[in-house]
Chain A
């Protein structure tokens, strides 16, 4: 993986804050950063290709569309972990999934288009894996700046 240089880091920091909705948004951001539009686009393509960027685009809020997000956790036997991972990840509603060092060792987020969808998908995962899915829906989200210094 190519290490990000100083310009890459400025791009990452700037684009965590937001991206214009305008006819030439890359040109707008490039001008702010003192770069050429072509250079900015080429760097973003490389940052995506080398996986320094996991996503670039609109972040949709399922809840605002009438859907829901829910953090879920499972206690998965270590010797069955890969099989369960495949079963869980096969659901398109699983937005991300992390292994963590705890008895509850699999933590994933469900994003569904309806509030009832969370329970339905959780139930399907329980049926497929034979494991209990604990649900931790958010009761309150505390405001945070979005930036992580690159």
Chain B
């Protein structure tokens, strides 16, 4: 889907969040000189086409007590990577899972899975579950705990 200049203005007006008022789309529309119905139609079209992944809350894992956040990384045989990644994705404690290129020699890992828990022990136990699932296809692995959030703003469009 291609976005037009009105979509772009709508993105700029909403990318930092929705207003917490009873009729948020009407308020956005008023700010842009549009009708509420046009704003809703455009948002729905962008959601249907995937430009908007979802309209939702992003909870702060840390504040909810999920203070242990590990990026587990795995070097698995290429031929098995898509199948194994799909299996990792079904685990309910994995919040994101991606296949990425290796950066040899420093970085041999091609599967990345984010694991959250209340303690590092809990995350380590979950990592062991993933390890068991990967079996013989696994060559090496590591875990990188996050120690500090340095920035978290999400996508920001520049003034295009």
Q: Which residues of A contact B (CB under 8 A)?
A: 1, 4, 11-12, 15-19, 21-27, 37, 41, 44-45, 48, 50-62, 64-66, 71, 73, 85, 88-89, 92-102, 104, 106-108, 111, 113, 134-146, 148, 150
Contact, CB under 8 Å: B152 / A96 = yes
Query: Are B16 and A57 in contact (CB-based, < 8 A)?
Result: yes
Say yes or no for B153: interface residue by CB 8 A criterion.
Answer: yes
- Contacts A52-B59, A52-B60, A141-B98 given; does A25 touch B51 at CB 8 Å: no
User: What is the interface of chain B, defined by CB distance below 8 A to chain A?
Assistant: 1-3, 11, 14-18, 20-26, 36, 40, 43-44, 46-47, 49-61, 63-64, 66, 71, 82, 85-86, 88-89, 92, 94-101, 103, 106-107, 112, 116, 142, 144-158, 160
CB-CB under 8 A from B149, the residues of chain A are: 96-98
5 nearest A-B residue pairs (beta carbon)? A142-B89, A15-B57, A97-B150, A57-B17, A140-B99
Point out the residues of chain A lying under 8 angstroms from B101, CB to CB: 136-137, 139
Q: Which of B52, B95, B160 contacts A113 (CB 8 A)?
A: B160
Q: Is the interface of B mostly helix, strand, loop or mixed?
A: mixed
Q: Which residues on A sit within 8 Å (CB–CB) of B100?
A: 71, 136-139
Given that A58-B55, A61-B50, A65-B51 are contacting pairs, would A25 and B97 also be in contact in the complex, using a CB cutoff of 8 Å? Answer: no
Q: A52-B60, A144-B97 are in contact. Are A59 and B52 (CB under 8 A)?
A: yes
Min CB distance, B18 to chain A, in Å? 4
- Min CB distance, B3 to chain A, in Å? 6
